[in-house]
Amino acid sequence: MYLALEQFNLDLKRIFWVLMFFRSGQVAKWSKNLFYIKADTSIFFILSWSTFKQQFWAQFFLVNTETNTTNILERSSYYQNNWIVEDYLDSFQILVSNTGYMDPYTLVVKFQRGLRSRIQNQITMGCPEDTNPEV
């Protein structure tokens, strides 16, 4: 989908049109916050398309990928949630590849911390020793 900028004669129309599509995730929170500020102050502080692009890039496209991914792993909000373990592992590995973390202990602790409680408990209790492989 491409934005046909020539269809909009005012930057604010362009900006509001784009904001209509921000319906979930962080981008939706950012958009709502812009409107809350407008409601509180009666001023929409992003008045030009170039300012909008600058604000958007600053908010969502951090220059330093390593710092960004490290921050994600350091927050307490990176969890498995409804993912299957394989998907959580894939996502975790992508993040780790961008962080520069090398210490295996640190990686295990961070990975386990994000798992569902039930799975964490199973890991903590460990697997029973397999004394009879025939069973």
pLDDT digits (tens, 9 = 90+) for 62-113: 667 777 788 888 876 778 888 889 888 888 888 888 787 889 998 898 899 8
pLDDT digits (tens, 9 = 90+) for 1-22: 455 555 556 888 889 989 999 9
| Cα–Cα distance for residue pair 61/30, rounded to 1 Å | 13
Q: Of 40, 99, 36, 32, nearest to 72 (Cα)?
A: 99
Instruction: State whether the Cα torsion 19-20-22-23 is positive or negative.
Output: positive
pTM of the model: 0.46
| Cα–Cα distance for residue pair 43/41, rounded to 1 Å | 5
- For 128, other C-beta atoms within 10 Å of its C-beta total 6
Q: Domain map of the chain by residue range? A: 5-60, 65-125
| Cα–Cα distance for residue pair 58/32, rounded to 1 Å | 17
